[in-house]
Amino acid sequence: MARMRATEAAVRVLEREGINTAFGVPGAAINPFYAAMRARGTIRHILARHVEGASHMADGYSRAAAGNIGVCIGTSGPAGTDMITGLYAAQADSIPILCITGQAPRAKLYKEDFQAVDIETIAKGVTKWAVCVREPALVPMVFQQAFYVMRSGRPGPVLIDLPIDVQMAEIEFDDETYQPLAVHKPAATRRQAEKAVGMLNDAERPVIIAGGGIINADASDRLVEFAELTGVPVIPTLMGWGTIPDDHPLMVGMVGLQTSHRYGNANFLRSDFVLGIGNRWANRHTGSIETYTKDRRFVHVDIEPTQIGRVFGPDYGIVSDAGAALDMFITVAREMKAAGKLRDRTEWVTECGHRKAVMLRKSHFDNVPLKPQRVYEEMNQNLDRDTCYVSTIGLSQIAGAQFLHVYKPRNWINCGQAGPLGWTLPAALGVRAAAPNKKIVALSGDFDFQFMLEELAVGAQHKLPYLHIVVNNSYLGLIRQAQRGFQMDYEVSLAFDNINADPDQDNVRGYGVDHVAVAEGLGCKAIRVKSPNEFKDAFARAHALMEEHQVPVVLEFILERVTNISMGTEIDAVNEFEEILCLDPNLSLEESRDMGSQANKTLAPARR
């Protein structure tokens, strides 16, 4: 045992739990904790420009780190309230992050002291656990419990609030014998697996819905193995995108009202059985439950008992970690295959693959200003299959999900349920801190980019290079499109005549904020692209600038002001606003793939 300040004991617990990076903003009420971090010298600290930004950095870090946990730190009062959005975003997507806040002395609590707010109560609705530590001796044990809570069952965030006098107090602590608590994850039984796989095998046209729980469990390879064993097509959710490579024959598209593929919706609507693993039946994926569930049976596997039946009652439910369930499913499927009991799915897979080849959206437009579809086509051509995309919400994210390709888990990092504007930029910095060798490309509309633009300076200061693509139509594009239902276009334009605009840049005038100038003023590099013949050179220059300067590089594309992106109110009624590729349904699968690729490049631009 050794005598030390409670804050030193807390930092030692963080070390033992594997923490080596933290994001935050120091302040008077959390300075004792910072003093302990400085004295230990074991945890890299990245100074954010806004405390909400620090929470999103921690979120991005956790999503990319595969097992490690992002930590964000702030002082008392508004620092904690600033982090609430970050905690909500993490909680909604089952992401563990640890938020540490300073607090007024215990004697000043509930007395309206300066920057003393009851953050424990405020945070309880958006965390797995929120606690204000009122006894110094509890500090190391509370931190130990926090990691147990974050990692057990459905992952999620924790907030620990530390009054300054608790931080300063001395306690006895023995870190040499400290051991992280063993986490608990429920696992499917043999009988449960036999029933689920048996129901799957009895179906004529089954599909697997692969959710984000598979990525949390690092079980993507097991998903692919199970799909290949059974020959059953896979439909990833937005949070599960990358669990199976986009070009795998059994990946048959995403389903949903917005972030979906035409062929994904069509393939799902032909199915008669659904095995959902690690997913939550999100409403943007399902549309109305009546349409989604009609004429098909469901098995639902989820780590959280209360998820089974929350949205609709499945025909059979299993409470299990996704990886543990897949292990058992594979064992049962192997035995069934060895006994000759697995059905041949060749015809069903071929049918789904044919739709994947012919039911395409057009992306090749030569318009100036640019159409967004062309930007995503160029991203596919100029970015390789190892690219990790980071995005949050808006038409930029929706079109990205419709047109981009993802081939590996944790290469689509998306704030799926909360969707807070501004999340993309700080989250991308967190991803970079967690994965120094990843090829990171953030994707924002102009409004998402402007929300937390100041965090670019963090990337410049701490040498966190990544490519940030900004598709600029000078609109709140998704809200403008939603306002069509109210026959209005009201307070959603970001356009104005910038008095500092270059008069020679005629096709940029009136677009308002000069993102290139702002990015460069924050210590980064930026390139503006206005026409299709600039694409190839712009991507090459951007990569060269990142390599040379080791800072974020902004690549801005000037879009036409109005483009409506495909979406609808039901998965069987998605409105295709642009011309789609209509290929001969009688073509072979190989012919369709070849013609689809060629047709996308040669069709005349569609009229809006």
Tens-place pLDDT, residues 513-526? 899 999 999 999 99
pLDDT classification of 582: cutoffs 50, 70, 90: low
Neighbours of 606 (CB within 10 A): 14
Residue 476, number of CB atoms within 10 A of its CB: 21
Per-residue model confidence (pLDDT) at position 413: 95
Give the pLDDT score at 506. 53
Q: Which domains does the chain have, with CATH numbers?
A: 2-173 (3.40.50.970), 190-359 (3.40.50.1220), 362-567 (3.40.50.970)
Q: Dihedrals φ, ψ of 359, to 5°?
A: -95, 80
Task: State pLDDT tens for residues 186-204.
Answer: 999 999 999 999 999 999 9
Tell me the per-residue pLDDT of 212-253, one tens digit each, with 9 for 90 and over: 999 999 999 999 999 999 999 999 999 999 999 999 999 999
Looking at residue 344, the DSSP 8-state letter turns out to be P
**How big is the chain by its Cα radius of gyration, in Å?**
25
Distances (CA, A) of 404 to 57, 416, 425, 480: 24, 16, 19, 23
pLDDT value of position 606:
33
Question: What pLDDT is attached to residue 591?
Answer: 54
Distance, in Å, from the CA atom of 445 to the CA atom of 436, rounded to the nearest integer, reads 25
Q: Rounded mean pLDDT of the chain?
A: 91
What is the reported pTM? Answer: 0.91
Confidence (pLDDT) at 263: 94
User: For residue 509, is pLDDT > 60?
Assistant: yes
Catalytic residue positions, numbered: 25, 51, 421, 476, 479
pLDDT at 494: 78
* In the predicted structure, residue 529 carries a pLDDT above the cut 90: yes
Helix, strand or coil, per DSSP, at residue 570:
coil
Query: Do the beta carbons of residue 128 and residue 157 sit within 8 Å?
Result: yes
Beta strands in 477-546 (DSSP E): 525-529
pLDDT, one tens digit per residue, over 357-377 is 999 999 888 888 999 999 999
Segment 145-160 shows an average pLDDT of 96
pLDDT exceeds cutoff 50 at 607: no
pLDDT confidence bin for 536, thresholds 50/70/90: very high
Q: How much of the chain exceeds pLDDT 90, in percent?
A: 78
* 469 pLDDT tier (thresholds 50, 70, 90): very high
Short-list 241, 217, 229, 235, CA closest to 271: 235
* pLDDT grade for 393, boundaries at 50, 70 and 90: confident
Share of the chain above pLDDT 70, in %: 94
Among the ranges 299-313, 355-369, 504-518, which has the highest mean pLDDT value? 299-313
